[in-house]
Amino acid sequence: MSDEFFPQIPKIQYEGPGSKNPLSFKHYNADEMVGGKAMKDHFRFACAYWHTMRNGLADPFGGPTAQRPWDDGSNSVENAQRRVWAMFEFMQKCGIGYYCFHDRDVAPECGDLEKSNAALDAVADELEKAQNETGIKLLWGTACLFAHERYNQGAATSPYADVFAYAGAQVKKAIDVTHRLGGQGYTFWGGREGYATLLNTDLGRELNHLARFLHMAVDYKQKIGFEGQFYIEPKPREPSTHQYDSDAAACLNFLREHGLKEHLKLNLETNHATLAGHSMWHEMEVAAAADALGSVDANTGDELIGWDTDQFPTDIYLTTQMMLVLLRTGGFTTGGLNFDAKVRRESFEPVDLFHAHIGGMDAFARGLKIANAILEDGRWETFRKQRYASYDSGIGAQIESGEVGFEDLEAYTLQNGEPTTVSGRQEMLENLINEFI
Ligand code: XUL
Ligand code: CO
């Protein structure tokens, strides 16, 4: 294993809850079996290239602070290629098996598309070598359709057809590179696919353009035989005032309306759920109910700050809730837990990247163990099942199977009289969950 970029830092080991070593896992133990599956296979942890390698930690009030000694700050292909090895050394030392990238995180944008594509190919050569040497895999790739000034009014929803065309060409290349690197998925996050004001916006036309774009992507994927899963990532606002993929329900509606449902699953991000006024638990249940829970961008927001702070997840209630959904739905197939998260601007040293990822992985390990214990205990699941038991037989079963209509319900109720209900027992259930935390 290379020791060039983080020479002071050893490979992070599991030392158990009693360890006082901050550079160790207290709960995440990759090969430990929980509920019949190794921890690492439950989570499929991934590292986000854009935050870990490319985020200088600027905020709206001040410039970058991050110390990244391997990065000479230039836009050269050589610098981009060196970064690949820093990223892979970091992931190896953390024991993270997957990564995710945007085309423009890994390679520079070089003036024209041909040159940018050549730079991307040159960095992809290096990524391929690093993948082969380390066994680390690509969870998903994506294209940055929001940073360059051409995308100032969107990409697929830009009012300018030439911008749409440029975005299509860029995504074609990003899918090619993802395919070449054996990517298990490809994510569409509509960075500026929305509007700043309705005064200048033809909303219906923009939505149709977005659907055309995704259909083109599906056609291309099928043409080249890329078998990775496509994801769409909801987010309600920021940078736009309103983004069309505003939450899980809006995405599902859009996909169904445009005949795309079978081709895309959802990549849900915790901080985006918060911005949409939902809990992550809610978003995951919505996706799971539609059989569209694909992958997760694991982070958290600061509820006292109104923007996407992309912090590392450390809240055990959050990770427990997320793992309850994942365990109940059978877990990830193509997806995983991608730490779409950045260290604070104050945490500018390279070692902080380790503390952050260790904390996130340990928080999920605890969430997994707690969620598994809750499910094995069975009282919670039994309560929820029991609450709906009136639909298991009699009139309830007839309602679910579609055998009865309003006239039957009228006849039934005239005979049955006033229904009885029992308490929802919220407080009892809150106490039950706390037994395991
Ligand atoms: C932005 C965000 C993106 C996507 C990938 O808020 O989450 O990084 O995950 O484009
Ligand atoms: Co994200």
* pLDDT classification of 306: cutoffs 50, 70, 90: confident
Ligand 2: centre distance to CA 219 (Å): 24
Express each pLDDT in 78-118 by its tens digit. 999 999 999 999 999 999 999 999 999 999 999 999 999 99
Task: Indicate if 345 and 394 belong to the same structural domain.
Answer: no
Domain hosting 284: range is 13-377
In a domain, 186, yes or no: yes
Same domain, 396 and 357: no
pLDDT of residue 303 exceeding 90, the answer is no
User: Widest CA span of the chain, in angstroms?
Assistant: 81
Residues 75 and 157 both lie in one domain: yes
Q: Is residue 170 in some structural domain?
A: yes
Residues 24 and 143 in one domain: yes
Both 361 and 333 in one domain: the answer is yes
The residues assigned a catalytic role are: 102, 105
Residues 315 and 410 in one domain: no
Question: Cα(224)–Cα(233) distance, rounded to whole angstroms?
Answer: 23
Q: Considering only CA atoms, which residue is closest to atom 5 of ligand 1?
A: 189
Residue 152 is given by DSSP the state B
Residue 161 lies in a domain: yes
Q: Which residues line ligand 1 (CB under 6 A)?
A: 50, 102, 142, 187, 189, 233, 235, 269, 297, 308, 340
Same domain for 362 and 386, yes or no, is: no
Question: For residue range 161-220, what is the model confidence (pLDDT) as tens digits?
Answer: 999 999 999 999 999 999 999 999 999 999 999 999 999 999 999 999 999 999 999 999
Q: CATH number of the domain that 169 lies in? A: 3.20.20.150
Do residues 124 and 237 share a domain? Answer: yes
Mean predicted lDDT score pLDDT of the chain: 98
Of 344, 359, 377, the one marking the end of a domain is 377
Looking at the CA of residue 310, tell me the nearest atom of ligand 1: 6
- At 431, phi and psi to the nearest 5? -65, -40
User: What's the CA-to-centroid distance between 4 and ligand 1, angstroms?
Assistant: 29
The residue whose CA has the least distance to atom 4 of ligand 1 is: 189
Residue 221 domain flag = yes
Q: Closest ligand 1 atom to the C-alpha of 267?
A: 9
Residue 5: inside a domain? no
Q: Which residues place a Cβ less than 5 A from the ion ligand 2?
A: 269, 297, 340
Residue 40 forms part of a structural domain:
yes
Helix (H) or strand (E) holding 100: strand 98-102
Q: Are 171 and 135 within one domain? A: yes
Distances (CA, A) of 57 to 54, 266, 346: 9, 28, 8
Which of ligand 1's atoms lies nearest the C-alpha of 146?
10
84 and 36 in a common domain = yes
What number of other Cβ atoms are within 10 A of residue 218's Cβ?
16
Shared domain check, 387 and 330: no
- For residue 313, is pLDDT > 90? yes
Pick from 269, 307, 308 the residue to mutate for probing ligand 1's pocket: most ligand atoms within 8 Å of its CB: 269
Instruction: Give, as one character, the DSSP assignment of residue 225.
Output: T
For the chain, what is the domain count?
2
What is the per-residue DSSP string for 168-234? HHHHHHHHHHHHHTT-SEEEE--TT-EES-GGG--HHHHHHHHHHHHHHHHHHHHHHT--SEEEE--
